[in-house]
Amino acid sequence: MPKISIMFWCFLLLPLVFYRSQANQKVGIYELKKGDFSVKLTNYGATVLSVVVPDNNGKLDDVVLAFESLKDYSNDSVYFGAIVGRVANRIGNAQFSLNGVQYKLVANEGKNTLHGGLQGFSDVVWTVKSYIEDSHITFTYNSLDGEQGFPGDLVGSVTYMLIETNKLAIKMEAKALNKATPVNLAHHTYWNLRGHNSGDILSHHLQLFGSNITPVNDQLIPTGEIAPVKGTPYDFLEPQEIGSKINELPDGYDINYVLDPSSYKHLRKAVVLRDSVSGRKLELWTNMPGLQFYTSNKLDSVKGKDGFVYKKHAAVCLETQGFPDAVNHPNFPSQVVKPGETYLHVMVYRFTAA
């Protein structure tokens, strides 16, 4: 892993702030900027709206997909750039049992729950707790007992921070206050390193450090198995074009990878993504055990920034996470957070161009 600055370790040690969101909290746009590297965000869904980075000729491009207007996010079904939760990804049959109690959740994808339900963390207004333009922004949200069917009050926090040169760190925290509850927050940005309006990502080269996946049924609910990727279209252990084997799959990639253990003490390297035209490279490290690799299979002529229309495979999502439906699979790493415990999810992106 690259050398990490003292500033990053201070970022990790920032305390989880206990703050109740105010009713009628205003929605705003905020920018983090350091040199040519900038990130725009909104407190609606703690969402990333843009990431601008230079290519190998110094040309600046926005490399994430987003809507033209904040108003469009109120009807968003693709989760552009949002923090999703209380439990990201899918929960089968919209239910689980915990400590002898059966919890029935709000189903929003057939009979299953996706990304926290009909009004998950991506569909609420977060409070801006701290903001320094050339440093960081922290959003907080207080999720109440019974929200979308989940047990217990939960205090959530996400901090976006610029560190060193062209690095973006994201820290997601949550603390259960009075009941044990599953927590699995994820960052759902859609990446296209050639530029958000450049077309598809099938020629991007991907290296994904996951030797296994969690296979799914026809509703994308894990079966509970852990299967090796070797010899399958899911094998990206060596760099290759995303589109090289995509036609061997029914619709594209939408699967959780079991990330390989890291030799580093704190974070594991998850992904290297490259675009040969712009020369841009994205590297991603995390402390999470899984990563959802999604090739925007369900984008269907979605109108985005600058009037550009996003189509199928216009971007890739690289969502570090706990395993999907872990609450219903005891062999998966637990996502249950008990009262007084703190959930911590860290991501570090490094952008370069050559």
Annotated binding site for beta-D-galactose: 89-90, 188-190, 254
Q: Is 319 a catalytic residue?
A: yes
Beta-sheet pairing, 205-208 with 336-337: unpaired
Q: Per the residue annotation, which of 115, 136, 187, 188 is the catalytic one? A: 188
Cα–chain-centroid distance for residue 98?
25
Output the six-digit token pair for 98: 């915990």
Residue 208: how many other CB atoms lie within 10 Å: 26
**Which residues belong to the annotated binding site?**
89-90, 188-190, 254
The Cα 320–Cα 208 span in angstroms is 12
Q: Per the residue annotation, which of 204, 283, 319, 345 is the catalytic one? A: 319
CB neighbour class for 308 (10 Å; exposed up to 12, middle 13-18, buried from 19): middle
The Cα 30–Cα 15 span in angstroms is 22
Q: CB–CB of 106/149 below 8 Å?
A: yes
SS3 239: coil
Q: Is 248 a catalytic residue?
A: no
Q: CB–CB of 291/208 below 8 Å?
A: yes
State the catalytic residues: 188, 319
